[in-house]
Structure 1
């Protein structure tokens, strides 16, 4: 995962815990989860649009023959 091992992830988590405190970490985790979900949804929609446009172009090209 991006060249980050398990010990680095634990270290980063400890730094976040020290900086932000245990109270705000669950809210931050939820916000990150929502962001990731929305980003994946946007990427999926983009892929669908590209695929649909490519299919439409292919259909138009076939009709012209």
Structure 2
């Protein structure tokens, strides 16, 4: 109950016997028993008062359980709605990325075409010194 082994209990009883003597031990045991009974009664009274208060206010285990289930389902719905909304953002980001890639490819094509036409112009230049590219 208190995590005390047999040897420890015997040692404690020996110390109590040495401190109080054999004639006072029954009186101490009665006092300790009464104190434990009073503590148990006080604990039971507190439990019953809490239970009565919960019953009077309309809270019982079933109502609280239903409330928990409802709250859990509402939180789950909100989570799903938020995740659904983020998928729209992912789609938009994908569309934007594809548009940027198309624009980049068009620009690269234009630059490559300009480079090729410039090379052709340079190759067509007559003279003793040609630039090599």
- Calculate the TM-score normalised by the size of structure 2: 0.43
Q: Distance in 2 between matches of 1:55 and 1:9?
A: 43
| Structure 1 residue ranges without an equivalent (≥5) | 60-65
* Residue 53 of structure 1: aligned partner: 53
Alignment of 1:23-42 (within 5 A): 23-42=23-42
* Aligned residue number for residue 5 of structure 1: 5
Structure 1 residue runs of 4 or more that deviate by more than 3 Å after TM superposition: none
CA shift, 1:2, in A, is 2.1
Report the structure number with the largest CA radius of gyration.
2
Q: CA deviation at 1:12?
A: 0.1
The answer to which structure, 1 or 2, has the higher relative contact order (CA under 8 A, 6+ apart) is: 1
Aligned to 2:102: none
Q: How far does the alpha carbon of each residue in 1:10-65 deviate from its partner, in whole angstroms, 9 at most, with x for none?
A: 11000000111001000000000000001100100100000000001117xxxxxx
The corresponding residue for 2:20 is 20
**Structure 1 residue 3: Cα displacement:** 1.6
**1:43 maps to what in 2?**
43
